[in-house]
Every structure is written in structure tokens, then in C-alpha cells.
Amino acid sequence: MEDEGRIRIAADADLVLARQKGRRLAAAMGFSGTDATLIATAISELARNILAYAGVGEIELARIHENSRDGIVVVALDSGPGIADLEAAMQEGFSTAGGLGMGLPGARRLVDEFDIVSEVGKGTTVTLRKWRAFAA
């Protein structure tokens, strides 16, 4: 796994930067424009959650090469309050903040692999992986 940078998320401008960096990395890796947008959108949702619930955190971007395929890895982590009921949080429409409750389930749908680890009082780490489709 090659580190492609980390972006501290503490304000709206950081969210925009993380989104841009994710999109650029995806494009540089040969993802389609559509896939680059999906990756950027997933990054936005995770960064928005960091701002809303933890206040501050980090988005890390990396490339992986595994079994002769290339993928992008996004890790969103914070040391915020954590999520008490992960199963509920992954349901569409569940929000503790009067939101639409679409961020986490939406991000999961946009990528190939989705992993979330959260502990109340410790924080939350979400890991996304998306593989580049083979050229037709």
C-alpha cells in the first residue's frame, strides 16, 4: 500500500480539499470520471461526518496493488464520540442529528469494500476500497 497523503479535516474547506485530492488520485490511477466522482462523493460523506460528530479527524488516501489489480483506499478516522449502534447507523434513514441518514449507507454503496470500526468514547475509523475496472 502506497501512502498518497493525509488531509486533516477540521473545517468545510478541508472537506473540499479531501474531495479534490481523492478525485485527482482516482483520475491519475486511471479510474473513469464516473468512478472518480463516486470516490469523491464517498470521501465527502465521511469527511462531513467527521466534522459533524467528531469535529476533527483525518482522511488518508492510498493506492493498493493486489492480485494484479489496482485499487484506491480511503481511511477516515477520528477520535470523536464513536457510534453506539453500528448496525443502526448503517441503515438508511438512521440519524442522531436530524439528518437524512444517508451518508454511511450511501458511501457503502459507492465502493467495493466498506469497513467500519467504532468504539464509544474512542472514535471511528471507516475504510473504503474501490478497485479499478479492467479496460474493456
Ligand X SMILES: Nc1ncnc2c1ncn2[C@@H]1O[C@H](COP(=O)(O)OP(=O)(O)OP(=O)(O)O)[C@@H](O)[C@H]1O
> Under the rule (CB under 5 A), what is the footprint of Mg ion?
49, 103
Q: Is residue 26 a contact point for ligand X (CB under 6 A)?
A: no
> In sequence order, what are the residues at sequence separation of 6 or more whose Cβ sits closer than 8 angstroms to the Cβ of residue 114?
107, 108, 126, 127, 128
Q: Report the number of secondary-structure helices (H) and strands (E) in the chain.
A: 4, 5
Q: Is residue 94 a contact point for ligand X (CB under 6 A)?
A: yes
Question: Which residue number, 36 or 59, has a Cβ lying nearer to ligand X?
Answer: 59
Smallest distance, ligand X to C-beta of residue 98, A:
8
Residue among 39, 47, 83, 128 that touches ligand X (CB under 6 A) = 83
Q: Is residue 54 a contact point for ligand X (CB under 6 A)?
A: yes
Residue given cell 479499478 in the structure block: 132
Q: Is residue 103 a contact point for ligand X (CB under 6 A)?
A: yes
Question: Which residue number, 71 or 101, has a Cβ lying nearer to Mg ion?
Answer: 101
Query: Using an 8 Å Cβ cutoff, are 116 and 86 in contact?
Result: yes
Alpha-carbon dihedral angle through residues 99, 101, 103, 109, given to the nearest 10 degrees: -160
Identify the three-state secondary structure at position 59. Answer: strand
80: partner contacted, choices Mg ion, ligand X, none (Cβ within 5-8 A by kind) = ligand X
Please give the DSSP secondary-structure letter assigned to residue 79.
Answer: -
Give the total of residues touching ligand X (CB under 6 A): 24
List contacts with ligand X (CB under 6 A).
45, 49-50, 52-54, 78, 80-83, 89, 94-97, 99-105, 124
